[in-house]
């Protein structure tokens, strides 16, 4: 039994060593295979149960091959941006189909030699397609199945994973959302001096637009106003301050004429219809804009402005105050600049030529926002009736008494109240005669009519301008009757109320030339005629542009020193339309598309699959593995978290085969095979001797 057992044991040895040389052959053959994991053949005894303590029953040997799937290979640099490797534990998830179905198997690999195929899919040289989690533009993982709302990142299926396809990236454009400006404003400038910063910004369609910031030196020391007009082919530009609930600093709308309006075409301004008329035939209820003597578009535009702001049919809200005027240097553009009187509504839908085509770039109704009283040059008090006898009003520390017996304007502190118009005229004369800060005939105090069309024959509004000396108060006496309102009626100045008259500057500096106050923080732009989204913070539109002038108390933006106007920097974060130009992949597996305009956008997250026992994965052709019961189930992880390794772009993992070790093992296996063969030949000789005994 032992002699034949020796033969069987020898045969098992030959079989085991054959297995070992086969593994060595495979290892050496795959020396250059990317991501290949070497196989080590160990041996285990095959024991026959011994039935006698004096006789030995041989068993033999069995080979136990083991793939070293958990062994890290050396990383080698690659010139391809789509070549990937893993530094640490884990595997890439791949599929045998570009568009997996239920019958296509998901597999695992360390072979990251990926490239774009003809369909734009990332495929490695073995023909397997890289899988990833789709992300939104913020890099947040979303399900591949759009009917799902929660991305389960630990399920491998087409509901959550998809094959990474770079041909579907498309182009991108980024709207400007931040504008930073640094400049030095001359400290020695005279009141009224202006300087200009021209800047570019991008809308939601990637179009470049230009706008200008104009700084005007105010009469108050170290203070500057900021003005901005709507860029060409937009409708309304509004500046907001930086309050928690932003207040309107300024608001300007525009009508850009491109052709002459036809006879009978019309525009509605603050509820009044103005009809262009060349033959004295105007629709009932409309105000005629006489263009009978006009021969040019500029003449028609001038006729409209004149009709709205002067003459018998003037709208008193626009009378002589610059709320409606030509844009400087452009005879075909009308600007609507709100001054605290009330929001301005404009509907240009009826402005058409003889063929029925629009004659202005702006074709939809728009509204110019009401400027907050803190930023207007003057405060307006509209009276609907006179105060009672003996009531008082204190202006800049001087008290004026309303007197029913006062019959003439004699410049004393008693104010006649026989009518609103006479009361205001007497009050204006008294202020100018008794308060040295209000010059006679100047515009610091004025009377106007507000609210409606028709000749300004009934003055009902007191205008008190801000003073260069600073803020002053208007105090209404106790039990003040018929208190005035703001021109639009939104505010009622009740009895015993104190109103501060001041204009907060757009920019203010201290005596060291450093900024102290920024009252312009956001730019809202509406009505792009090219179809771009409004910049107005609405959820469906783009945000307003944040305006950054630097830090209060620091010389990191706007300054005011005794030097010439010096622009220092202008930066903005928007970009024109850009086409896809490549990808970058972070160590966390976030795949970000690069565009030739400098923009970037996350598009996929590459997951890493880890196993409890990766050495027991089942090997398949193409340097891929599948899970087995011995390996345990997969766990999908974000790369570089927990046990998952890092994703390294532009590198490939080399084979883990050690050629020196393999040649050494080959010698050992060769000698072991020869020795095992000697067992068989020796047992054969012994059997031969046994056969001779019979003869």
Helix (H, G, I), strand (E, B) or coil at 372: coil
% of the chain exceeding 70 in pLDDT = 97
Contacts of 316 (CB under 8 A, 6+ apart): 448, 449, 450, 451, 452, 453, 454, 456
Given a cut of 80, is residue 49 above it in pLDDT? no
Identity of the highest mean pLDDT range in 116-125, 448-457, 673-682:
116-125
Helix (H, G, I), strand (E, B) or coil at 451: coil
Exposure of 145 by Cβ count < 10 A (0-12 exposed, 13-18 middle, 19+ buried)? Answer: middle
> Which of 2-11, 196-205, 255-264, 584-593 shows the lowest per-residue confidence on average (mean pLDDT)?
2-11
Q: Average of pLDDT values for 210-222?
A: 95
Q: CB count, 10 Å around CB of 383?
A: 20
Contact of 375 with 519, CB cutoff 8 Å: yes
Given a cut of 80, is residue 454 above it in pLDDT? no
Contact of 500 with 218, CB cutoff 8 Å: no
Instruction: Please indicate whether residue 560 or residue 59 has the higher confidence score (pLDDT).
Output: 560
- What average pLDDT is seen over the chain? 90
- Which two three-digit tokens encode residue 267? 């525009």
Cross-strand pairs, 594? 582, 600
Given a cut of 80, is residue 653 above it in pLDDT? yes
Given a cut of 80, is residue 184 above it in pLDDT? yes
Given a cut of 80, is residue 4 above it in pLDDT? no
3-state secondary structure 441-493: CCCCEEEECCCCECCCCCCCEEEEECECCECEEEEECCCCCCCCECCCCCCEC
- Look at residues 203, 198, 197, 138 and name the one whose alpha carbon lies nearest to residue 574: 203
Predicted local distance difference test score (pLDDT) of residue 352:
96
Helix (H, G, I), strand (E, B) or coil at 157: coil
Q: How far apart are CA 557 and CA 177, in angstroms?
A: 18
Confidence of residue 407 (pLDDT cuts 50, 70, 90): confident
Given a cut of 90, is residue 410 above it in pLDDT? no
Predicted local distance difference test score (pLDDT) of residue 457:
63
The conformational region for residue 233 under phi > 0 = left, psi -120 to 50 = alpha, else beta, is: left
Cα 620 to Cα 30, 88, 148, 655, 663: the distances in Å are 14, 22, 33, 16, 25
Task: Give, as one character, the DSSP assignment of residue 615.
Answer: G
Exposure of 419 by Cβ count < 10 A (0-12 exposed, 13-18 middle, 19+ buried)? Answer: middle
Predicted local distance difference test score (pLDDT) of residue 369:
97
Instruction: Please indicate whether residue 689 or residue 368 has the higher confidence score (pLDDT).
Output: 368
The two counts, helices (H) then strands (E), for the chain are 4, 48
Cross-strand pairs, 344? 368
Contacts of 689 (CB under 8 A, 6+ apart): none
E strand or H helix at 299? helix 297-309
Predicted local distance difference test score (pLDDT) of residue 360:
97
- Which two three-digit tokens encode residue 494? 């009740």
- Tens digits of per-residue pLDDT, 362-388? 999 999 999 999 999 999 999 999 999
Predicted local distance difference test score (pLDDT) of residue 54:
67
- Tens digits of per-residue pLDDT, 419-433? 999 999 999 999 999
Contact of 494 with 349, CB cutoff 8 Å: no
Confidence of residue 153 (pLDDT cuts 50, 70, 90): confident
Q: Rg (Cα) of the chain, in Å, rounded?
A: 43
- Tens digits of per-residue pLDDT, 506-553? 999 999 999 999 999 999 999 999 999 999 999 999 999 999 999 999
Q: Average of pLDDT values for 209-224?
A: 95
- Tens digits of per-residue pLDDT, 316-340? 899 888 999 999 999 999 999 999 9
- Which two three-digit tokens encode residue 310? 């002067």
- Which two three-digit tokens encode residue 52? 């006698």
Taken as a whole, the chain contains a residue count of 695
Q: How far apart are CA 629 and CA 509, in angstroms?
A: 74
Q: How far apart are CA 650 and CA 78, in angstroms?
A: 5
Given a cut of 70, is residue 312 above it in pLDDT? yes
Q: How far apart are CA 140 and CA 124, in angstroms?
A: 26
Predicted local distance difference test score (pLDDT) of residue 455:
57
Contacts of 147 (CB under 8 A, 6+ apart): none
Given a cut of 70, is residue 57 above it in pLDDT? no
Contacts of 293 (CB under 8 A, 6+ apart): 299
- Tens digits of per-residue pLDDT, 468-505? 888 999 999 998 999 999 998 999 999 999 999 999 99
Q: How far apart are CA 118 and CA 415, in angstroms?
A: 89
**Terminal CA-to-CA distance of the chain, rounded, Å?**
21
Cross-strand pairs, 458? none
- Which two three-digit tokens encode residue 427? 């009050």
Confidence of residue 281 (pLDDT cuts 50, 70, 90): confident
Contact of 584 with 600, CB cutoff 8 Å: yes
Helix (H, G, I), strand (E, B) or coil at 10: helix
Given a cut of 70, is residue 256 above it in pLDDT? yes
Contact of 64 with 44, CB cutoff 8 Å: yes
- Tens digits of per-residue pLDDT, 17-34? 777 787 788 778 888 888
DSSP characters for 134-156?
Answer: EB-TTS-B--SSTT--S--TT--
Contact of 653 with 110, CB cutoff 8 Å: yes
Contact of 649 with 585, CB cutoff 8 Å: yes
Cα 391 to Cα 483, 580, 654: the distances in Å are 11, 74, 96
Cα atoms in the 13 Å half-sphere on the side-chain side of 465 = 17
Predicted local distance difference test score (pLDDT) of residue 674:
82
pTM, rounded to two decimals: 0.77
Confidence of residue 67 (pLDDT cuts 50, 70, 90): confident
> Which of 63-67, 149-153, 174-178, 381-385 shows the lowest per-residue confidence on average (mean pLDDT)?
63-67
Q: Classify strands 392-395 and 398-403 as parallel, antiparallel or unpaired.
A: antiparallel
- Tens digits of per-residue pLDDT, 588-641? 999 999 988 888 899 999 999 999 999 999 989 999 999 999 998 899 999 999
Contact of 167 with 542, CB cutoff 8 Å: no
Contact of 204 with 575, CB cutoff 8 Å: no
Task: Give, as one character, the DSSP assignment of residue 369.
Answer: P
Given a cut of 90, is residue 180 above it in pLDDT? yes
Contacts of 359 (CB under 8 A, 6+ apart): 257, 258, 259, 260, 261, 262, 265, 351, 352, 353
Predicted local distance difference test score (pLDDT) of residue 149:
79
Predicted local distance difference test score (pLDDT) of residue 453:
75
DSSP strand E in 521-565: where?
522-526, 545-548, 558-559
Q: Classify strands 330-337 and 324-327 as parallel, antiparallel or unpaired.
A: antiparallel
- Which two three-digit tokens encode residue 526? 């509406």
């Amino acid at each position: 039994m032992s002699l034949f057992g020796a033969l069987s044991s020898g045969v098992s040895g030959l079989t085991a060593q054959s297995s070992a040389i086969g593994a060595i052959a495979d290892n050496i053959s795959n020396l250059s295979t990317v991501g290949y994991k070497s196989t080590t053949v160990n041996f285990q005894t095959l024991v026959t149960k011994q039935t006698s303590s004096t006789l030995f029953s041989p068993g033999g040997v069995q080979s136990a091959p083991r793939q070293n799937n958990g062994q890290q290979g050396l990383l080698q640099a690659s010139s391809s941006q789509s070549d990937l490797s893993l530094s640490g534990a884990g595997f890439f998830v791949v599929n045998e189909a570009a568009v997996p179905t239920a019958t296509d198997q998901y597999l695992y690999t360390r072979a990251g030699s990926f490239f774009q195929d003809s369909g734009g899919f990332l495929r490695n040289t073995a023909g397997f397609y890289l899988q990833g989690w789709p992300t939104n533009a913020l890099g947040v993982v979303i399900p591949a199945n759009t009917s799902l709302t929660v991305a389960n990142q630990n399920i491998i299926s087409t509901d959550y994973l998809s094959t990474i396809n770079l041909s579907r990236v498309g182009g991108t454009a980024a709207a400007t959302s931040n504008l930073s400006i640094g400049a030095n404003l001359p400290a020695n400038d005279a009141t009224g001096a202006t300087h200009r910063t021209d800047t570019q910004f991008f809308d939601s369609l990637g179009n470049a637009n230009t706008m200008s910031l104009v700084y005007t030196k105010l009469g108050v020391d170290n203070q500057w106003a900021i003005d901005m007009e709507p860029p060409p082919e937009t409708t309304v530009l509004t500046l907001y301050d930086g309050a928690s609930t932003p207040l309107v600093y300024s608001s300007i709308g525009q009508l850009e004429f491109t052709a002459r309006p036809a006879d009978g075409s019309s525009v509605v301004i603050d509820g009044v219809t103005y009809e262009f008329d060349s033959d004295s035939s105007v629709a009932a209820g409309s105000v005629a804009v006489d263009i009978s003597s006009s021969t040019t578009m500029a003449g028609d535009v001038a006729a409209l402005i004149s009709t709205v702001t002067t003459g018998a049919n003037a709208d008193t809200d626009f009378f002589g105050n610059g709320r409606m005027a030509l844009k400087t240097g452009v005879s075909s553009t009308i600007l609507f600049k709100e001054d605290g009187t009330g929001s301005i509504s404009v509907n240009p839908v009826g402005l058409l030529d003889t063929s029925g085509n629009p004659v202005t770039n702006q074709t939809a109704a728009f509204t110019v926002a009401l400027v907050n009283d803190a930023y207007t040059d003057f405060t307006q008090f509209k009276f609907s009736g006179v105060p009672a006898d003996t009531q008082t009003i204190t202006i800049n520390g001087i008290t004026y008494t309303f007197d029913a017996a006062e019959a003439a304007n004699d410049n004393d502190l008693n104010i006649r109240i026989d009518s609103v118009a006479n009361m205001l005229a007497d009050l204006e004369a008294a202020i100018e005669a008794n308060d040295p800060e209000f010059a006679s005939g100047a515009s610091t105090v004025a009377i106007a009519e507000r609210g409606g069309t028709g000749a300004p024959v009934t003055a009902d509004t007191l205008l008190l301008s801000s003073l260069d000396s600073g803020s002053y108060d208007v105090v209404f006496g106790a039990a003040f009757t018929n208190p005035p309102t703001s021109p639009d009626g939104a505010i009622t100045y009740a009895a015993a109320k104190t109103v501060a008259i001041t204009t907060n500057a757009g920019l203010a500096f201290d005596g060291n030339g450093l900024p102290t106050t920024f009252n312009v923080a956001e730019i809202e732009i509406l009505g792009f005629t090219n179809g771009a989204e409004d910049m107005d913070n609405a959820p469906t539109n783009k945000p307003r542009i944040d305006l950054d002038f630097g830090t209060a108390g620091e010389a990191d933006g706007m300054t005011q020193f005794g030097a010439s106007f010096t622009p220092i920097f202008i930066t903005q974060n928007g970009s024109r339309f850009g086409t896809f130009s490549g990808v970058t992949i972070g160590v966390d597996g976030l795949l970000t598309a690069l565009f030739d305009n400098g923009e970037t956008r996350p598009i996929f997250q590459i997951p890493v699959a880890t196993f409890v026992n990766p050495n027991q994965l089942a090997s398949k052709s193409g340097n891929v593995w599948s899970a087995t019961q011995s390996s345990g189930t997969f766990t999908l992880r974000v790369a570089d978290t927990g046990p998952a390794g890092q994703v390294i772009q532009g590198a490939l993992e080399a084979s883990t085969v050690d050629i020196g070790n393999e040649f050494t093992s080959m010698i050992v296996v060769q000698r072991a095979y020869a020795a095992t063969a000697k067992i068989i030949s020796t047992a054969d000789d012994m059997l031969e001797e046994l056969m001779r005994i019979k003869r």
